[in-house]
Amino acid sequence: MRTKNVVVEPYNPKWKEEFERLKIYLESHMGDRIIGVEHVGSTSVEGLPAKPIIDLDIIIEGYDKFDEVKNVLEGMGYYHEGDLGIKGREAFEYEGKESYMTHHIYVCPKDSQALQNHLAFRNHLRENPDDRDRYGQVKVKAAFEYPKDIDGYMEAKSPVIAEIYEKLGLKVQ
């Protein structure tokens, strides 16, 4: 589901509730095939403006578990899109699911750089209101400047992301 209109909204506590609903839904189908489900992305950071799309990382032990998890997701109506250029993060898309908030699902091995980046960035923004607020301002401005251009929006916010990654010693992928 490619973003056509870039809309960034003020933080909404409903996002946490929607993540919890999706987590329960996913875990009920996955059982012990996975380690867990993490809420990542901007909707996971209280006080941060965001596109109203829940990002979830399904954590697996390693790629030897991937096909099994992929099959379960496909049975649930998700389809695999590949890594979309980010090693260690397999993206899934869907159609339907109107009873759930718009979401992106990624399957990541527990030791992948992509997962480490998602969690470290999220945790940093949760713990550092100055960086959270600065990033939020950049996101709002970028959405205003690029309301119909997701690539322009992403490019406009990439310098502040890179700066925070550097501060955290993370590898940009």
pLDDT over 80 at 36, yes or no: yes
- Tell me the mean pLDDT in the region 44-66: 97
- Tell me the mean pLDDT in the region 37-48: 98
User: In angstroms, rounded to a whole number, what is the distance separating the alpha carbons of residues 32 and 85?
Assistant: 28
Q: Are strands 90-94 and 103-109 parallel, antiparallel or unpaired?
A: antiparallel
Tens digits of residue pLDDT in 96-135: 899 999 999 999 999 999 999 999 999 999 999 999 999 9
Among residues 40, 63, 170, which one has the least CA distance to residue 109?
Answer: 63
Which pLDDT score is estimated for 173? 65
Which pLDDT score is estimated for 116? 96
How far from 24 is each of 30, 37, 44, 65, 83, CA to CA, in Å? 10, 9, 16, 20, 24
- Domains of the chain plus CATH, in order, are 14-168 (3.30.460.10)
